[in-house]
């Protein structure tokens, strides 16, 4: 799925976010609850936007479902949805910061438990710092740093998914036990 095509949808519907931020939101939601519905994600994305066409709606749902598939895969195929390498590094770094903002919002929008491990809190703190990345970048060293951050995030997402979904499952079990006894 092409980044520019998805980004154009958000521009057309005046959603005030980028495809990277939308993907981060989906990823964060799915990290916490892999049963999150695409309709919930779309409602969060488009709450202040104009109507999207059914074709655009289908494209966005495909992005969400592909994200679900990749994040659940044991093949480590998951990747951040960012502009292609040919795009200026400053634009890719800005998209990365937006992705991180979306991710954090996604985690927060579906998390019901926050008694996370120290490692989880540290990763979320790192991701919060990535929302503040300096976009005045150029050269090979900054390019290497960008690649390193995206690789860190790919790994972090998979680690968070395992831990946060486990926490969500155990909180759902506690909820079920509590309500079954009443």
Give the pLDDT confidence score for residue 177 in this predicted structure.
40
Average pLDDT estimate for 11-38 = 92
Out of 6-10, 111-115, 131-135, 156-160, pick the least confident: 111-115
Average pLDDT, the chain: 87
Where helices occur in 33-138 by DSSP H, the ranges are 38-45, 54-72, 89-110, 118-130
Give the pLDDT confidence score for residue 107 in this predicted structure.
94
> Domain of 86?
3-181
Give the pLDDT confidence score for residue 166 in this predicted structure.
61
Q: What is the number of domains present in the chain? A: 1
Give the pLDDT confidence score for residue 50 in this predicted structure.
79
Q: Output the domain CATH number for residue 44.
A: 1.20.120.740
pTM of the full predicted structure? 0.87
Examine the pLDDT at 149 and tell me if it is beyond 70: yes
Examine the pLDDT at 98 and tell me if it is beyond 90: yes
Tokens at residue 103, please? 């991710």
Examine the pLDDT at 108 and tell me if it is beyond 70: yes
Q: Which of 109, 87, 147 is nearest to 27 (CA)?
A: 109
d(CA 38, CA 113): 21
**Digit-coded pLDDT (tens) for 35-82:** 999 999 999 888 877 788 889 999 999 999 999 999 998 888 899 999
Give the pLDDT confidence score for residue 179 in this predicted structure.
32
Give the pLDDT confidence score for residue 175 in this predicted structure.
31
Average pLDDT estimate for 152-179 = 67
Give the pLDDT confidence score for residue 168 in this predicted structure.
55
């Amino acid at each position: 799925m092409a980044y520019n095509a998805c980004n154009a949808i958000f521009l057309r519907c005046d959603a005030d976010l980028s495809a990277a931020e939308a993907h981060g939101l989906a990823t964060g939601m799915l990290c916490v609850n892999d049963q999150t519905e695409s309709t919930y994600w779309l409602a969060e994305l488009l709450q202040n936007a104009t109507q999207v066409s059914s074709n655009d709606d289908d494209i966005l749902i495909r992005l969400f479902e592909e994200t679900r598939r990749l994040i659940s895969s044991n093949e480590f195929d998951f990747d951040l949805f960012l502009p292609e390498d040919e795009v200026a590094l400053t634009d890719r770094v800005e998209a990365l910061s937006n992705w991180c903002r979306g991710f954090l919002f996604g985690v927060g929008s579906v998390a019901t438990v926050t008694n996370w491990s120290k490692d989880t809190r540290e990763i979320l703190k790192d991701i919060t710092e990535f929302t503040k990345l300096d976009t005045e970048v150029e050269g090979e060293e900054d390019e290497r740093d960008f690649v390193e951050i995206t690789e860190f995030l790919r790994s972090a997402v998979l680690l968070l998914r395992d831990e946060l979904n486990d926490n969500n499952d155990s909180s759902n079990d506690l909820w079920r036990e509590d309500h079954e006894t009443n």
